[in-house]
Amino acid sequence: MPSNILIVGASGTVGSEIVRVLKAAGHSVRTTTSKPTTAPDQVHVNLATGEGLDAAFAGIDRAFFLSPGGHADQYKILAPLIAKAKAANLKKVVLMTAAGVEMNPEGPMRKAEIDLENSGVPYNIIRPTWFMQNFNTFWVYGIKEFGAIRLPAGDGQVGFIDSRDISAVAAKLLTEDALSGKTITLTGPALMTHADVAAEISKVAGKTVTYSDVDPAELKGVLLGAGLPADYVELLLMLMTYVKAGYSASLSTGVQDVLGRAPGSFQTYAQDFKASWV
């Protein structure tokens, strides 16, 4: 069977689950990786340089695009993908950006959205808020080792979303055209502070996890120490100030609208990922 749905970022949090869902439904998928390929349906692509893009798009009908974490100028990553989608006359592109990008028309993610909107390619844009899965990835070390979430997020509320719902939405939009042309903000079902998150993780992890609102300089040191690029660290710190200021305190009906069911709860996520924290 030919591979006709291209998934960029296919080994990441969202992309890997899109691939699983599409394959389970019998669709054929081509995946990109920046690493050496290990399977026939993979293609080596370096999104930072454009290397491998021509081969990635050959014979493709539909595609999912994201900008991998770590890149502050997401337009530089996404614009060549959108140009290729246009040149290849794709039947559909699903682009994942982030909730709130519409607030800054000059921002790199919004610029990429505008390129896609103007491309003539049938599309959906999905804008998820903060992922629940950050607590078993980015912030897992502090929770596991010290029972601590230390972020400069104050008591700002977030409608954390289970990334598995993002993937399910993306898979549906990739394969069905009824909602084409829509931009959809995706959140979970409830607004929670990081203190609420710590309390929920405590319930399932068998230990007390606390949340502390810390000076941004502390997170900056941690992220730079982990090797993240300085411009990406500044972006994350800015996003945290938005959380603290309350800009992430809203819920959307996006998951319900696309999937016809409510988004997954933090409690379900925590049960499913509790092994991460012990």
Ligand X SMILES: NC(=O)c1ccc[n+]([C@@H]2O[C@H](COP(=O)([O-])OP(=O)(O)OC[C@H]3O[C@@H](n4cnc5c(N)ncnc54)[C@H](OP(=O)(O)O)[C@@H]3O)[C@@H](O)[C@H]2O)c1
22/164 Cα distance (integer angstroms): 13
Continuous segment of H or E residues that includes residue 85: helix 74-87
- Determine if 154 is a binding residue for ligand X (CB under 6 A): no
Q: Find out whether 90 and 121 touch, Cβ atoms under 8 Å.
A: yes
The C-alpha angle with vertex 106 and arms to 63 and 69, in degrees rounded to 5, equals: 50
Q: Which of 3, 6, 30, 33 binds ligand X (CB under 6 A)?
A: 33
For 262, other C-beta atoms within 10 Å of its C-beta total 12
Number of residues that bind ligand X (CB under 6 A): 24
Alpha carbons within 13 angstroms on the beta-carbon side of residue 157 total: 10
State residue 45 phi and psi, 5-degree precision: -135, 135
> Using CB under 6 A, which of 5, 6, 7, 14 touches ligand X?
14
In angstroms, what is the minimal distance from the CB of 242 to ligand X? 12
d(CA 73, CA 69): 10
Which residue number, 3 or 32, has a Cβ lying nearer to ligand X?
32
Q: How far is the CB of 52 from ligand X (least distance, A)?
A: 8
Cα separation, 271 vs 278, in Å, equals 12
Choice from 5, 7, 47, 149 touching ligand X (CB under 6 A): 47
**Residue 18 in the binding site for ligand X (CB under 6 A):** no
Q: CA-CA distance, 14 to 201, in Å (whole number)?
A: 22
Residues sharing a CB contact under 8 Å with residue 117, sequence separation 6 or more, in sequence order: 123, 125
Determine which residue in the list 4, 20, 27, 34 makes contact with ligand X, applying CB under 6 A.
34
Report 117-136 residues binding ligand X (CB under 6 A): 128, 130-131, 134
Site stretch for ligand X (CB under 6 A), options 40-48, 203-211, 213-221, 267-275: 40-48
Q: Give the whole-angstrom CA distance, residue 48 versus residue 30.
A: 19
Which range in 60-68, 147-155, 189-197, 252-260 contacts ligand X by CB under 6 A?
60-68
- What is the b/e burial string over 229-251, where b = at least 16 CB atoms within 10 angstroms of the residue's CB? eeebbebbeebbeebbeeebeeb
Residues contacting 99, CB < 8 A, separation 6+: 127, 128, 129, 185, 186, 187, 248, 252
- Least distance from C-beta 12 to ligand X, angstroms? 2
Site string for ligand X, 79-118 (x = CB under 6 A): -----------------x-x--------------------
From 45-53, 83-91, 195-203, 263-271, span contacting ligand X (CB under 6 A): 45-53
Q: How far is the CB of 206 from ligand X (least distance, A)?
A: 25
Residue 66 binds ligand X (CB under 6 A): yes
Closest approach, Cβ 235 to ligand X, in A, equals: 9
**Which lies closer to ligand X via its Cβ, residue 69 or residue 120?**
69
Q: Which is nearer to ligand X, 91 or 117 (CB)?
A: 117
Residue ranges in contact with ligand X by CB under 6 A: 9, 11-15, 32-35, 45-48, 66-69, 96, 98, 128, 130-131, 134
